[in-house]
Amino acid sequence: MKVPDQIKQEVNDLRREINHHNRLYYTFDSPEIPDADYDALFVRLQELEQSYDLVTPDSPTQRVGSEPLTQFSQITHEQAMLSLDKVFNEQELEDFEARIKKRLGSEAGIEYSCEPKVDGVAVSLLYRDGLLERAATRGDGITGEDITHNVRTSQSVPLKLDVSGMRGRLEVRGEIYLGKAGFARLNARAEAQGSKVFVNPRNTAAGAVRQLDSRNTARVPLQMYCYSIGITDDIAMPARLSEVFALLDSWGLPVNPDRSTEQGMQGCLKYCLDLLDKRNALDYEIDGAVLKVNDLEIQSELGQNARTPRWAMAYKFPAEEKSTRVLDVEFQVGRTGTITPVARLDPVFVGGVTVSNTTLHNMDEVERLGLRIGDMVIVRRAGDVIPKVVRVITPEKNKKPGIIEVPSACPACGSSVEKEGEVLYKCSGGIICPAQRKESIKHFASRSAMDIEGLGDKLVELMVDAGLINNVADVFKLTVAQVSALERMGPKSSENLIAAIAGSRKTSLARFLYGLGIREVGEATAQALAQHYGDLQPIIDASAEDHELIADIGPIVAQHIAVFFSNKENLALIEELLVQGVEWEVIEKADNADVLAGQTFVLTGTLEQMSRSESKNQLQALGAKVAGSVSKNTDVVVAGPGAGSKRAKAEELGIKIIDEGEFLSLLDSLSK
């Protein structure tokens, strides 16, 4: 058939683009696009080649990866290291099994060996007489790079197999990767040294195995999981892949503990979905599952295509990284007036959800990314975390870039925007700013503050928009008639809300302080203020220097507190709240209030007779500081049953340790 010119042109363009990305990915370890984008290009090329009979030997669909780096010695794989075909849904899995059964000419059930698809670097390990002789990358599937000097640095790879009498060669294939914990440690060390942090575990692992100086590789905690065998020189092997894994494990080779043997595609699908559920709990990155016919004889019978085996398939999970375009950057105003840049994105499905916007955190992050409006970016969303722009790609293709600048006026109220510290920008409008007004009322009504049941975020927004409330004091002026006039608020629910508001008038000083939304004053700081001063007026009268005398309150937070209570509008609002009947019990400062001043306690293990929070409150009431970790500054560790690392560290540092009984006796003696 005659192939349209535009199809030929598209095929040529796809091949050129895929070869470009192959070289970036396999040779230079610096991919330009996410895996999902690459997969889409590859699938499109396959479809066109098959539909129009355009397959040629030099097409990227007929080979694996790209050429090896020239500065490494090259080796030739006696058995090609193949790639895997990919599927993305249940129907494609069923089609895969149907093709197998058709080729075998049998409808008999098939057993599969299933394992996570580890996101790492494919390698070949060659053992001779049980000793590691050579390690090589996959390269283009036929020719790879000799990376023996680097692989020998990995504690995960045995230099000698735990087997006696083995003769001849054994080739083991697997994936070298960098675990999440190791990646975090590596970046923590880089930050401490002021070095550049690494982008992701896969690229870091790929770069490590290609170091010319193996001392650099040794600094990276590389690991490996074996996934198959190659040449064996007549070494007896079991008949099933699952048994091969067990044998490799017995020889000391690392195999994935999350592998499984399943019957039929429904069993495989259940394995894949279960693995997807625990994806984020694994200590290594995966992008799917690999399903292989378990019977090695059937594998041999099924054979392979030019670049992929017919007996294996990769089931790809929803991508955690996708590319998209930044359409605009807007600035949002938070509860405390912080101005935050938010990227509006061309909607993209990533990490199981459609993402159309994401926070850019602050202008430092915008500058770090080198981001401009119109740029193509990679967006990452793993698990339930907030989507994040990871990096800009091909910035040179943005022909009309839009510069991102902090507005001079608040987007919500028009007040001037001021820079605060090194990073933050804030609206100067305070409680007159609509954005802050809504958020301050939401915070005031929240469970940890005034705990007004029924006054949720949406209702607060309705009331502010309707002009019923303009500040937190207005909440206590609401009537049943006003509330019941709102959408979806009937007489009964309105009565319940007004009753809840009335009940919240009697509160505690700590809750009230927290509800005011003073900058950087959380629940613990509010509790410390209340405990120290006992009532509100002493806090208003105190200076920043006075606040600094309280444990855990430093100069910055102390200044925030002093500034808040020096603001006439804030004091007027507090006075209005008191007029509306908000009250609390004054905390009488006991004679022994400072008896433990200057001492630091740590609570660990299970406290059976007194809750952890009550124990902390009692210690703070006596003037003690309660820390979350043991250090040389700790004076006493209260250790209940199950105390672990904190107790061990206390013993190592020679810090006094008491049990719960001794702790209760101490409190009892100090209260007399």
DSSP codes, 469-538: -SSGGGGGG--HHHHHTSTT--HHHHHHHHHHHHHHTEE-HHHHHHHTT-TT--HHHHHHHHHHHSSHHH
The pLDDT assigned to 21 comes to 86
Confidence band for 68, pLDDT divided at 50, 70 and 90:
low
Angle CA 441–444–447, to nearest 5: 125
Continuous H helices in 193-314 = 201-209, 214-218, 241-250, 264-277, 296-302
Q: Which one of the listed residues 101, 102, 117, 458 is annotated catalytic?
A: 117
Find where tokens 């690494």 sit. Answer: 198
Binding residues for NAD(+): 35-39, 83-84, 115, 138, 175, 292, 316
- pLDDT of 274 over the 80 cut: yes
Give the model's pLDDT for residue 255. Answer: 95
Kindly give the residue spans of alpha helices, DSSP state H, lying in 306-448. Answer: 363-369, 434-445
Read off the tokens for 537. 């007026």
Comparing 541 with 611, which gets the higher pLDDT? Answer: 541
- If residue 94 lies in a helix (H) or strand (E), which one and from where to where? helix 90-104
b/e map of 197-221 (b: 16 or more CB within 10 Å)?
A: ebebbbbbbbbbbbbeebeebbebb
Domains along the chain?
5-62 (1.10.287.610), 86-316 (3.30.470.30), 318-428 (2.40.50.140), 430-504 (1.10.150.20), 509-584 (1.10.150.20), 600-670 (3.40.50.10190)
pLDDT in tens, 208-243: 998 988 888 999 999 999 999 999 998 889 999 999
> What is the per-residue pLDDT across 13-56, written as a single tens digit (0 to 9) for each?
999 898 888 778 765 667 888 888 988 999 999 999 999 999 88
pLDDT, the chain, mean: 89
Q: Which two tokens stand for residue 263?
A: 């019957």
Measured N-to-C along each axis, helices 612-621 and 523-533 cross at an angle, to the nearest 10 degrees, of: 40
Contact 268, 101 (CB under 8 A): no
Distance CA 460, CA 468 (A): 10
pLDDT tens sequence across 380-416: 887 656 889 989 998 999 999 999 999 999 998 787 7
* Residue that the structure tokens 């000391």 belong to: 252
Compute the distance between CA of residue 599 and CA of residue 585 in angstroms, rounded to an integer.
28
Q: Where are the beta strands (DSSP E) in 544-631?
A: 583-584, 600-604, 625-627
Q: Residue 93 — pLDDT band, cuts 50, 70, 90?
A: very high
Max Cα distance, the chain (Å): 100
3-state SS assignment for residue 191: helix
Q: What share of the chain is helix, strand, coil (3-state, %, to 5)?
A: 40, 20, 40
Q: Tell whether pTM > 0.85.
A: no
Name the pLDDT band for 518 (thresholds 50, 70, 90).
confident
48 φ, ψ (degrees, to nearest 5) = -65, -45
How high is the pLDDT of residue 63? 65
- In 3D space, the residue among 299, 272, 298 whose CA is nearest the CA of residue 286 turns out to be 272
Q: Is 646 a catalytic residue?
A: no
- Let me know how many helices (H) and strands (E) the chain has, helices first: 24, 24
Containing 174, the helix (H) or strand (E) segment is: strand 169-178
Q: How far apart are CA 628 and CA 531, in angstroms?
A: 19
